[in-house]
């Protein structure tokens, strides 16, 4: 787990977040370490949400520049194996 205070790029943050979730799901961490892991996960989640919001704003600006005034909602296909949220 990286303790660097520099902001990771989106893909790095997402990969680290997935690793942290896996560690927490195992349930074998001592309480103090679990809390630190959870705290780092919250930081990464906020970073990813900010990165996604910034990307969405950039896309909307580009669409407006190209004469498209309305953006279409992005839909994520449901997993075929039934393991979705």
The domain 10-65: what is its CATH number? 1.10.287.1040
Query: Which pTM was predicted?
Result: 0.65
Using N-to-C axis directions, what is the helix angle for 10-26 and 31-65, rounded to 10°?
150
Task: Name 75's Cβ contacts closer than 8 Å, sequence gap at least 6.
Answer: none
CA distance 10 to 25: 22
Tell me the helix, strand and coil percentages in the chain, rounded to 5.
60, 0, 40
Q: Tens of pLDDT along 28-57?
A: 999 999 999 999 999 999 999 999 999 999
Q: Tens of pLDDT along 60-81?
A: 888 888 776 665 666 666 666 6
For the chain, what is the total number of helices (H) and then of strands (E)? 2, 0
């Amino acid at each position: 787990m990286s303790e660097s205070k520099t902001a990771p790029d989106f893909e790095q943050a997402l990969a680290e977040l997935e690793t942290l979730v896996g560690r927490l799901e195992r349930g074998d961490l001592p309480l103090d370490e679990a809390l630190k892991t959870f705290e780092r996960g919250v930081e990464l989640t906020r970073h990813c949400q900010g990165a996604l919001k910034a990307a969405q704003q950039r896309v909307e600006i580009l669409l407006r520049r190209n004469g498209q005034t309305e953006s279409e909602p992005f839909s994520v296909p449901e997993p075929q194996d039934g393991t979705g949220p």
